[in-house]
Amino acid sequence: MKKENIPNILTIIRFILIPFIYISVLSHHYLIALIIFTVSALTDILDGYIARKYNYITDIGKLIDPLADKLTQLSLLLSLAILKILPWWIFAIVFIKELVLIVSASVLYSRKDVVVYSKWYGKLATTLFYLAIVASLIINQFDITMAFRIDLYLYYLAILATVFALIMYSIKFEFKREK
């Protein structure tokens, strides 16, 4: 095995973990889902660190790393929506945003001179969703009853950040398309 492939192998591990996270949530094993999700997040951090530090950045890695992030997030949100922990409309907005971004990125990737990178506003939305998901898993694992559902408010903030990110990416896409 080449050392240059380590980041991509870590990303592939994240793909493998997705069904286990999904099934754990649907089976009401929230703590197990949280542990697997944490392992997934750590491999994400590690693959990014290794790729940048040792310059092991590959074209395939640029494609599969964000795809693993999107599929992990969408599968978690879908499982929480199925269990009615998360409102369906939140899942729908995120799904539509990701679909629009995937189509837009595909158009830009087809141009050899354009590289698509995530921006701070996209990372903010993802981080807020991950915080909300962790809060949902903890609340449901320990059956915490609270008048103020912090996870729902985190989802609302994440939705605002998502809509903002979609607008900003759309502006950037339109600007790059016109060049």
CATH number at residue 123: 1.20.120.1760
pLDDT value of position 111? 67
* % of the chain with per-residue pLDDT over 90: 62
- Residue 114 in this model has a pLDDT that exceeds 80: no
pTM attached to this predicted model: 0.88
The reported pLDDT for the residue numbered 115 is 54
Residues 20-47: what's their mean pLDDT? 97
- Can you give the pLDDT at residue 176? 61
Comparing 42-56, 74-88, 108-122, 147-161, which segment has the lowest mean pLDDT?
Answer: 108-122
Q: What is the C-alpha to C-alpha distance for residues 155 and 73, in angstroms, rounded to an integer?
A: 12
**Residue 175 pLDDT exceeds 80:** no
**Mean per-residue pLDDT for 80-85?**
96
Element holding 93 (H helix, E strand): helix 88-110
Which domain covers residue 107, as residue numbers? 3-178
Arithmetic mean of pLDDT, 12-17: 98
pLDDT of residue 112: 59
> Cβ distance 90 to 37 under 8 Å?
no
Render the burial of 125-164: b for 16+ CB within 10 Å, e for the rest. bbebbbbbbbbbbebbeeeeeeeeeebbebbebbbebbee
pLDDT on residue 169:
79
Q: How many domains does the chain have?
A: 1
Q: What is the mean pLDDT of the chain?
A: 89
Whether 88 has a pLDDT exceeding 90, the answer reads yes
Q: Residue 155 — very low, low, confident or very high, per pLDDT cuts 50/70/90?
A: very high
Look at residue 116 in the predicted model and tell me its pLDDT.
Answer: 58
149 phi, psi to nearest 5 deg = -80, 95
Question: What is the pLDDT at residue 54?
Answer: 93
